[in-house]
């Protein structure tokens, strides 16, 4: 009886592990949607404008250029198109954002408001190494 239970458990684990590539793609897609929103706030005041007055960033300002990178790079990552180079560039953008804007306020990300910058930095660095996963235009281009 115990042996049958172990086999069933191993089968369940193997089935769950087989979803790994698809969960990789779901993580990429979900993170990209959230990242695009960070860019659209800066460029289009969507879904809400930038504090304190709800406006947008000047396109040629550092924040405006960041918004362009976040929107266009986020769309590329969402589609899984040129994922490795786009993710590498966005990882660098997030490192710059953290050390230029957040770190000078305080060393701790939870105190300086930089948690998302740190998470995106390492998430994009991960995707620059692993690629987009099976549900992507990059995967389709390789076939």
| Structure confidence by residue, pLDDT tens digits, 96-141 | 999 999 999 999 999 999 999 999 999 999 999 999 999 999 999 9
pLDDT at 63 over 90: yes
pLDDT band at 68 (very low <50, low <70, confident <90, very high): very high
For 6-60, the pLDDT digits (tens) are 777 778 899 999 999 999 999 999 999 999 999 999 999 999 999 999 999 999 9
> What whole-number distance in Å separates Cα of residue 72 and Cα of residue 81?
11
> What whole-number distance in Å separates Cα of residue 57 and Cα of residue 40?
10
* Contact assessment for residue 83 and residue 135, using Cβ atoms and an 8 Å cutoff: no
| pTM for the structure as a whole | 0.91
Return the half-sphere exposure (C-beta side, CA atoms, 13 A cut-off) of residue 4. 1
Give the CA radius of gyration of the chain. Answer: 19
- 3-class SS of residue 119: helix
For the chain, the domain total comes to 1
> Which pLDDT value is given to residue 10?
74
For 76, the enclosing helix (H) or strand (E) is helix 62-79
> Which pLDDT value is given to residue 97?
97
Q: In which domain, by residue range, is 57 found?
A: 2-142
Q: For residue 85, give both structure tokens.
A: 């180079």
């Amino acid at each position: 009886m115990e042996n049958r239970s172990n086999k069933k458990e191993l089968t369940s684990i193997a089935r769950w592990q087989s979803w790994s590539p698809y969960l990789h793609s779901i993580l990429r897609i979900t993170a990209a949607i959230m990242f695009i929103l960070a860019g659209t706030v800066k460029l289009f005041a969507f879904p809400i404008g930038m504090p304190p007055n709800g406006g947008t960033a000047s396109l040629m300002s550092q924040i405006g250029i960041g918004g362009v990178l976040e929107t266009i790079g986020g769309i590329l990552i969402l589609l899984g198109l040129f994922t490795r180079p786009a993710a590498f560039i966005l990882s660098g953008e997030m490192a710059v954002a953290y050390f230029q804007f957040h770190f000078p306020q305080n060393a701790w990300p939870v105190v300086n408001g930089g948690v998302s910058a740190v998470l995106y930095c390492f998430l994009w660095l991960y995707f620059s190494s692993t690629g987009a996963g099976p549900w992507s235009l990059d995967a389709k281009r390789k076939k």
